[in-house]
Chains A and B, each alone.
Chain A
Amino acid sequence: MSRGASSLVGIRDAVTARRASAEHLTAATLARATGLNDALNAFVEIHEEEAIRQARAADARAALGGKGTGASGRLAGVPLALKDNICVAWGRTTCASRMLEDYRSPYHATVVQRLLDAGAVIVGKTNLDQFGMGSSTEHSVFGPTRNPWDPTRTPGGSSGGSAAAVAARIVPAALGSDTGGSIRQPASHCGVVGLKPTYGRVSRYGLVAYASSLDQIGPLATNVRDCAEILSVIAGHDANDATSLRAPVEDFAAGIDAPIEGLTLGVPRQARSESNHPAVTGALAHAEEVFRAHGARVIEVDLPHAAHAIAAYYVIATAEASSNLARFDGVRYGRRAALGSGEGLGALYERSRAEGLGEEVKRRIMLGTFVLSSGYYDAYYLTAQRARRLIRNDYDRAFEQGCRALLMPASPGPAFTLGEKLADPMTMYLEDVYTVGVNLAGLPALTVPAGFAEIPAASGRGASRLPVGIQLIGPALSEGTLLRIGRQFERATAWHEQVPSLIAE
């Protein structure tokens, strides 16, 4: 098997200059996606026919020199994968659920249309925790995705399929969605770059909603520059999403190599937790050194309410989920349960939902219903919304101290083993301790590879070498700055160039 995809920019330039054929590249990508799926289960559907058709169109446009084709060509011939909660007008959009196992979206999500307009080739849909609810990609009706660095471990989640597909160099980049860390934590666990944009930066039209005030689509890629290319294509106002921002969209790749000298970075006191894995502690300390060596000033800041982020998140996200997922009632689309004679509409709702929704989704719907219910609304939902403001204020104060970005772990540890956190959902929720605050505050954040954890062999399990990431968090609409800081970091460290051993096999 080949070593897999090169960089997005490399492919785009080669296809545009007709040094490479998008069709050949796509055929190789499809073969690699299929060949590795038994081992990784990263894809839930591969779109061979459509992908080849798009690739031929990209080659045809390149032959015309891109003129008069109406396409920007920014992603000409670039094979991409999409998390399977993003609607595409061919194939299925399942959200890894029984409820939508045969759902065929009648339209493209706005991000999909923008990728296609830029010349991208969509090769398939990737696995996820059902409806985005989970941190391990184990809550999927298609079975778990496996981590390319160690197939006995999870890739993180919920965008675990996208992270694994990029880490295994099947595709140079993929889209995920991030409601509480679902791009950044799997990026960290799989040793790739992941960006959660500012809330409203990227249209959510055509993203199956989990928690509407927190959800945001973003890219995962093998390097920061490629993330910037994707963001430049998918960002921007969309009349079909009332929460999308009218902020101007810069060319995020243009200023990415500018130096970071003189810039101030803040490390939250709360990020230096004793419960962090030693490799995470080490990666954070090393990152601080790297940034100082590049002329940045690193100061300590305080996020006094950070410890309350998980509690506030699991009230707000589940409340919104209970409302959003009420649409899955077995009437207009999705799974409908077979009813016995004499059973009415109530039974149709209750049985279709019981059959169609997974255990974790049911848990979250019930928690959300509980915190919104009469008698508990003030004590839980309103309290969480007030805590959310305090969490947002903490970030604002840190930025007012002059920090252009905050530096902290993306996850307290490296990838955990399959099944390890399934028995107790609370331990799974604590995976998100460093990520949920960013969604509550609506801020952009970038995860970059920052080192490795060497796990010695123990009790029948071989030794493994697992990537760990750090994340950079910035004020609203500061993606350009975050990408620039991340780019300097990866140039200095080259952690992102290391690949799992299965690549070389």
Chain B
Amino acid sequence: MSATPHTPAGEVGKSAVPGHAHLPAETVRRVARLSRLRLSDTEIESARSHLASILGHVSTLHTLDLRGVEPMTGVGGAGTIVGGGGVDADGAMIAPPRDDVPGPILPTEMLMRLAPDTDAPFIRVPKVLRDSGEGGGP
């Protein structure tokens, strides 16, 4: 099993050790930021306790002998679509890719009506680049 933690930039915490009884609040804050969720301290604490509980249960997966077991990414086996369809390893009939021809599309005005703030023909969002040069974006 390749459970060896690696530590590239962007990691959410120092440890990939299962169990997580002591999942640090800072890790949960980091996950909330990555999830683009602004949470209060109370919500962070509640999420911390929940994540620790479910990760404790999930860590039972580490008792399995998974050597040589290929990860199952889905049921249809998307990789088998290339080549014109057929029957995949699991016996499911996979559709060949459809012809690359334009189909009907939804009218722009209809989609624009769904947008919370518009300045036709655009959707309005806050400035990303500030005059100071500081980004307001993520």
List residues of chain A with CB under 8 Å of any chain B CB.
103-104, 106-107, 198-200, 213, 237, 239, 242-247, 305, 307-308, 310-312, 314-315, 322, 326, 329-336, 339, 343-351, 353-354, 357, 359, 362-363, 365-367, 369-371, 373-376, 378-380, 382-390, 392, 424-426, 429, 440-442, 475-477
Contact = CB atoms under 8 A, between A and B. Distances in A.
B92 A386 contact: no
Nearest to A439: B75
Interface residues on B, range: 35 or more
Contact of B57 (A310, A348, A476): A310
Given A237-B95, A336-B117, A375-B11, A346 B53 contact: no
A55 to B, nearest CB: 27
12 contacts: A307-B60, A311-B57, A333-B116, A347-B38, A353-B35, A363-B50, A369-B34, A375-B11, A378-B2, A378-B6, A385-B71, A387-B64
Nearest to A241: B95
Nearest to B57: A311
Nearest to B28: A366
B120 interface: no
Nearest to B48: A366
A349 to B, nearest CB: 4
Would you list the 9 A-B pairs with minimal beta carbon distance, nearest first?
Answer: A344-B136, A442-B75, A385-B71, A336-B116, A375-B11, A333-B114, A350-B38, A389-B72, A213-B74
B37 A362 contact: yes
B126 A246 contact: no
Q: Is the interface of B mostly helix, strand, loop or mixed?
A: loop
B66 A386 contact: yes
B91 to A, nearest CB: 6
Given A245-B76, A424-B53, 16 more contacts: A107-B106, A199-B75, A213-B73, A243-B76, A243-B78, A246-B93, A247-B93, A332-B111, A333-B116, A345-B128, A346-B137, A350-B38, A354-B38, A366-B35, A380-B61, A476-B90
Nearest to A384: B61
A422 B64 CA distance: 30
B66 A383 contact: yes
Given A308-B64, A366-B47, A354 B74 contact: no
B40 to A, nearest CB: 9
B58 interface: yes
B11 A374 contact: yes
Nearest to B58: A311
Q: By DSSP majority rule, is chain A's interface helix, strand, loop, or mixed?
A: helix
B60 A388 contact: no
Interface of B: 1-13, 16, 18, 28, 31-32, 34-39, 43, 46-47, 50-51, 53-55, 57-62, 64, 66, 69-76, 78, 81, 85, 90-96, 98, 106, 110-111, 114-117, 123, 125-128, 130, 135-138
A106 B51 contact: no
A314 B58 contact: yes
Contacts of A345: 125-128, 136-138
Contacts of A239: 98
Contacts of B3: 378-379, 383
A205 to B, nearest CB: 12
B138 A387 contact: no
Nearest to A237: B95
B61 A387 contact: yes
B35 A322 contact: yes
Given A336-B116, A343-B126, A389 B34 contact: no
A83 B115 CA distance: 24
Given A348-B125, A366-B35, A383-B66, A426 B57 contact: yes
A314 B117 CA distance: 36
Contacts of A350: 36-38
A103 B114 CA distance: 7
Given A245-B93, A246-B94, A380 B12 contact: no
B75 A213 contact: yes
Given A311-B57, A375-B7, A379-B18, A365 B72 contact: no
Contacts of A332: 111, 114-115, 123
B8 to A, nearest CB: 5
Contacts of B94: 245-246
A346 B72 CA distance: 35
B75 to A, nearest CB: 3
A308 B66 CA distance: 13
A362 B106 contact: no
B37 A370 contact: no
Contact of B90 (A103, A359, A440, A442): A442
Given A322-B35, A375-B13, A385 B72 contact: yes
Contact of B37 (A330, A354, A387): A354
A386 B65 CA distance: 10
A369 B50 CA distance: 14
B75 A387 contact: no
